């Protein structure tokens, strides 16, 4: 196996050290079903808002049918505080339906299941990519945070190329179990970097775990040392 490059190493080290510093309740949740369903919400609102309502929305959902069997009025009431309730309800229904098709292993989606998620109502390619990584399959989803971090870190400013390269390395590491989805850990670290230090204006480069492997850091960090 080829050793991981410095960027992949830095992201996994950051995850190991600060995986729940933002206090996101699904990170400590052992349920793969709930972790998957919450991705349908995260693509359509902020993590902070989802965290506030996570237990109320999905806390009693252990199996896909626990969500799908709720009355429609109850589904809508649960997601209503997140805004655009029908869109969010559609995402949860789509993901729960994908699980429902599994007969022998209902808590894990197959590669084929994941491949069809992007076309499901309320899901889309970014969420499908995040779910693929969560279930141990390679993908390279790009949202606004990944776009910003990747465009700065990559020497050519290409975020999609940057994240695909990093996740390709990480996903090539043999997995011992689904409880160790390294690709999902790595992109979660990128999202944390984008949400906490790699701000759109005046990024806090000196606190960034990617400081030593970011093409833009020498210029951006200089603003913090000599801000003129």
Token pair of 1 as six digits: 């196996």
CB-CB contact of 65 with 97 (8 Å): no
End of a domain among 69, 94, 123?
123
CA–CA gap between residue 88 and residue 95 (Å, rounded): 11
pLDDT one-digit tens code per residue, 62-81:
999 999 999 999 999 999 99
Instruction: Classify residue 132: in a domain, yes or no.
Output: no
- Boundaries of domain holding 165: 1-21+138-228
Instruction: Give the start-end residues of each E strand in the chain.
Output: none
- What's the whole-number mean pLDDT along residues 192-205? 92
How many structural domains does the chain have?
2
Domain at 150, CATH number: 1.10.1670.10
User: Does 111 or 187 have the greater pLDDT score?
Assistant: 187
For residues 94 and 177, membership in a common domain is answered with no
For residues 17 and 39, membership in a common domain is answered with no
- pLDDT at position 227 is 46
Kindly report the number of other CB atoms within 10 A of residue 12's CB atom.
Answer: 19
For residues 85 and 61, membership in a common domain is answered with yes
- What's the whole-number mean pLDDT along residues 46-60? 95
Please, which residues have CB within 8 angstroms of residue 74's CB and are 6 or more apart in sequence? none
End of a domain among 123, 154, 189?
123
The conformation of residue 212, written as its DSSP 8-state character, comes to G
For residues 176 and 106, membership in a common domain is answered with no
């Amino acid at each position: 196996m080829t050793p991981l490059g410095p960027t992949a190493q830095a992201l996994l080290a950051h995850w190991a050290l600060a995986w729940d510093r933002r206090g996101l309740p699904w990170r400590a949740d052992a349920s793969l079903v709930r972790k998957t369903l919450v991705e349908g919400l995260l693509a359509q609102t902020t993590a902070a808002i989802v965290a506030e309502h996570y237990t109320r929305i999905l806390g009693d959902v252990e199996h896909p049918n626990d969500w799908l069997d709720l009355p429609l009025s109850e589904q809508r009431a649960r997601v209503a505080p997140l805004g655009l309730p029908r869109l969010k309800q559609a995402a949860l229904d789509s993901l729960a339906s994908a699980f429902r098709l599994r007969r022998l292993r209902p808590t894990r989606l197959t590669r084929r299941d994941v491949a069809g998620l992007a076309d499901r109502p309320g899901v889309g390619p970014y969420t499908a990519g995040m779910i693929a990584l969560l279930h141990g399959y390679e993908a390279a989803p790009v949202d606004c945070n990944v776009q910003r971090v990747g465009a700065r870190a990559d020497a050519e400013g290409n975020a999609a190329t940057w994240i695909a390269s990093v996740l390709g390395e990480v996903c090539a590491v043999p997995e011992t179990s689904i409880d160790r989805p390294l690709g999902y850990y790595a992109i979660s670290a990128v999202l944390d970097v984008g949400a906490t230090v790699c701000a759109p204006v005046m990024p806090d480069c000196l606190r960034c775990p990617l400081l030593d492997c970011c093409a833009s850091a020498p210029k951006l960090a200089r603003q913090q040392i000599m801000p003129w």
